[in-house]
Copies of this chain bind each other. A is one copy, B any other.
Amino acid sequence: VTIEAKRPPAGAAVLREDVTSAIQMALLQELAAVGYGRLSIEAVARRAGVGKTAVYRRWGSKLEMVLEIVSTVAGQSLPMPDTGSLRGDLEIFLRFAAKALRHPLASQIMPDLLSEAARNPQIAATLQSTLITNQHDIGVLLIGRATERGELSSGVDPALAVDLVFGPLYWRLAIARTTLSDKHLRLMATAAAAALAAACEPTASVPAMPPSQAIDKIG
């Protein structure tokens, strides 16, 4: 070994890993149980069975702690196999997403952090650079494949695509919190595919369309 970076100073103790992981687990549980707003370092330490010192020696504040742990968890990218059709890809994606959103911890933590992000720029930035970006990439990928296949004409906005595909699922599972049967999930995939297809053209045709005229008058 030639280079030994970050060797602890002579006679030094080192942060114990078992303590670290106990804190991380406790943080996620605490976050799910009471939310970011009510989250307290003390409760995390208590749940982890460690002293408060052990937490503050690792992270300077609850924000810092949450950001690091959450970005680790949320940054994992999904494998997106090519099923040969847009609808198939969408169903796969929705299935993965549904599985994630049905996880008790995630389904509690995610909406909470997302709503907290509206108040906290740092949380917003972190989620943006992990979760949102992650989704955007998936959107670009799926649209690209579908366009190549000829299922979609070019020019679909990836952000809008994410809205149309992920929005309904998120609303259903994370917000309305009603059950979603497998049959309905497939329906959702079908509908999402149709929506994406419809979201290509109308940019040009709609403004000229009669029905929308009545609408425009409404403030």
A-side residues, CB < 8 A to B, are 33-38, 81, 83-88, 91-92, 95-96, 99, 107-108, 111-112, 114-119, 124, 132, 151, 157, 159-160, 162-164, 166-172, 174-178, 183-184, 186-199, 202-203, 206-207, 211-212, 214-219
Would you call A214 and B88 a contact (CB within 8 A)? yes
Dominant SS at the A interface?
A: helix
- Kindly state the separation between the CA atoms of A178 and B124 in the bound complex, as whole angstroms: 11
Cross-interface CB contact of A172 among B116, B163, B192, B194, cutoff 8 Å: B163
| Chain B residue at minimal CB-CB distance from A205 | B190
Would you call B211 and A84 a contact (CB within 8 A)? yes
Contacts of A202 in B (CB 8 A): 186-187, 190
Would you call B184 and A160 a contact (CB within 8 A)? yes
Would you call A95 and B183 a contact (CB within 8 A)? no
Contacts of A159 in B (CB 8 A): 172, 176, 178
- Kindly state the separation between the CA atoms of A157 and B177 in the bound complex, as whole angstroms: 16
Instruction: Rank and list the top 9 A-B pairs by shortest CB-CB distance, nearest first.
Output: A37-B37, A87-B215, A88-B215, A194-B198, A87-B218, A167-B171, A167-B168, A111-B115, A191-B195
What's the number of copies of this chain in the assembled complex? 4
CB distance from A174 to the nearest CB of B (A): 8
Apart from A114-B175, A190-B206, what are 17 other A-B pairs with CB-CB below 8 Å?
A33-B119, A35-B35, A35-B119, A83-B215, A84-B212, A84-B214, A87-B217, A95-B218, A115-B175, A159-B172, A183-B207, A186-B211, A186-B212, A187-B199, A190-B215, A191-B199, A195-B198
Contacts of A83 in B (CB 8 A): 211-212, 214-215
Contacts of A194 in B (CB 8 A): 191, 194-195, 197-198, 218
Cross-interface CB contact of A167 among B169, B183, B203, cutoff 8 Å: B169
Would you call A215 and B187 a contact (CB within 8 A)? no
Would you call A163 and B171 a contact (CB within 8 A)? yes
| Chain B residue at minimal CB-CB distance from A51 | B11
